[in-house]
């Protein structure tokens, strides 16, 4: 049984010190890995990331993260990544990492992703260069994700995103902003290659559970959605299992 702890949209700032650390005290007893699905900071200030790093130090399990849109706001994302990696957090952007958990190879493929919308209400890379750039950015992210998934030599494969790959986990958000919360382009390569679980954040008013058209479980782990320090998701390595969700306060 693979035990994953996951959360997104923790939006750390200077006043966040001590808000997460107490909940991580016994994490090794509950999870094998901690996955952070973006929006780790409020505006991407390295000082905010430094506060988070102190919370994550010596938690006792490997930590994997992707950045979110908030982490890019002040154009210091490289510094944010550097701080996290210096603290031992593996930050993914179109690549993957494999861990051995009690003899099972657990692979994580991650990319921030981007928007564009979903079938019947989506943008296309046609017309103005701005529109081509918008949709093209998502297509490029999806291509990097597919490559990362194909290169994972793992028994269990988990996809870590910030933006949503399906509309189901956005339910509760206004329909008008769906194109800015995710894209079907992110789900297509995952369904082609296969995975056991997809985790994302970004949609604070969304829904926790969903599934891709190919039958892969999706979980929106934005903290305002799961309403706890992190969610626990158990996988047993079967093809496309329904993960057992266990809440932790």
Q: Which domain holds residue 237?
A: 2-248
> Residue 205: which residues within 8 A CB-CB, separation 6 or more?
172, 173, 224, 225
Residue 247 binned pLDDT confidence (cut-offs 50, 70, 90): very low
The pLDDT > 90 percentage for the chain reads 91
Phi, psi of 110 (to 5 degrees): -140, 150
What is the average pLDDT across 12-34?
A: 95
What is the average pLDDT across 129-138?
A: 95
Least confident range from 3-7, 55-59, 109-113: namely: 55-59
What's residue 237's pLDDT?
A: 59
Distance of alpha carbon 246 from alpha carbon 30, whole angstroms: 10
What's residue 236's pLDDT?
A: 80
What's residue 243's pLDDT?
A: 52
What's residue 120's pLDDT?
A: 83
- Rounded to the nearest integer, the mean pLDDT of the chain is 94
Angle formed by the axes of helices 184-193 and 129-151, nearest 10°: 20
Q: pLDDT by residue (tens digit) across 84-130?
A: 999 999 999 999 999 999 999 999 999 999 999 998 888 888 999 99
What is the average pLDDT across 207-219?
A: 98
Read off the CATH number of the domain in which 101 is found.
3.60.21.10
Distance of alpha carbon 194 from alpha carbon 208, whole angstroms: 21
What's residue 246's pLDDT?
A: 44
Count of the separate structural domains present in the chain: 1
**Displacement of CA 181 from its chain's centroid (Å):** 13
Residue 103, Cβ density class (10 Å: 0-12 exposed, 13-18 middle, ≥19 buried): exposed
């Amino acid at each position: 049984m693979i035990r994953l702890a996951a959360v997104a949209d923790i939006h750390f700032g200077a006043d966040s010190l001590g808000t997460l650390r107490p909940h991580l005290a016994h994490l090794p007893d509950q999870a094998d890995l901690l996955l952070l699905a973006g929006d780790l900071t409020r505006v991407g200030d390295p000082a905010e990331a430094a506060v988070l790093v102190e919370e994550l130090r010596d938690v006792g399990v490997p930590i994997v993260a992707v950045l979110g849109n908030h982490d890019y706001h002040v154009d210091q994302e490289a510094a944010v990544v550097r701080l996290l990696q210096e603290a031992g957090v593996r930050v993914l952007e179109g690549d993957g990492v494999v861990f051995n958990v009690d003899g099972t190879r657990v692979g994580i493929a991650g990319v921030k992703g981007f928007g564009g919308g979903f079938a019947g209400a989506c943008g296309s890379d046609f017309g103005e260069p701005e529109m081509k750039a918008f949709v093209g950015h998502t297509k490029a992210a999806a291509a990097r994700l597919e490559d990362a998934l194909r290169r994972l030599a793992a028994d269990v494969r988990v996809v870590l995103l910030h933006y949503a790959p399906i509309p189901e986990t956005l339910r509760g958000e206004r329909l008008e902003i769906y194109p800015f919360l995710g894209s079907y382009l992110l789900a297509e390569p995952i369904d082609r290659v296969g995975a056991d679980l997809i985790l994302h954040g970004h949609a604070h008013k969304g829904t926790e559970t969903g599934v891709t058209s190919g039958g892969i479980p999706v979980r929106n782990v934005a903290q305002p959605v799961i309403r706890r320090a992190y969610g626990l998701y158990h996988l047993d390595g079967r093809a496309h299992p329904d993960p057992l969700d266990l809440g932790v306060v």
